[in-house]
Chain A
């Protein structure tokens, strides 16, 4: 929690100064939640990304719903290191505090 607070104070003031690459670099090792086309989600530590947008996560857990219709209970499974090709990625979220979220959103505007 304290770490979380620290991180956010680190990032918030610098958001506008840093270029996107440096900001993504700051996301390394943090919990990332990636959704893929078939409806599954992968929660793992952000390890690497390349020019094409392929992401590598470490210590990943796979979440999938048991039924097609939502809401439905989910099933989990540990997968370790995975590579998510950008072509099948549908969403990507990072675990952060609310202030940090605001600073991340700024980019959209």
Chain B
């Protein structure tokens, strides 16, 4: 099995201090740890939204500083912890994401498929600003899945969902990832979810260190 990410002596300010971390390709990796332990910071480093102050991050054995950041982000897509939707309808939100990644607009039935995966029962013409937090979170999830990257960095993708919806959504995302051979790195607050769906679990400690 090959590794999608290798981190070597990575430090980020005094927030993160990871001596050595290998993340495998094609599986679900769950990140657990109390709030403030640096989970979001780690995902942001992998998405190249911030750069480590020390150490190196390899993506498929290539140091990400030698890669074009925009091209990297089109392969390693991230869903942020606070889901942000853009002005306009659900369809326009999808199309904007496709435009960001310089992909062709998609037909409605394809968009609908992604709404189904994230269990969002809304018309494509629905105004994205007139949705609840949980609905927006699922739209943001569907939007990032649509872009068809190689890796999905999901930062607490179900934090605004009730227990039943959460279970359904995570299950269907995991199934989608397995069927399409995606690597998923998912932050979750729930060790139950991590145990049930994570092929690997990474625990982060308060000082931004990890034990596998």
Say whether A and B bind each other.
no
Interface residues of chain B, those whose CB is within 8 Å of chain A, are: none
Interface residues of chain A, those whose CB is within 8 Å of chain B, are: none
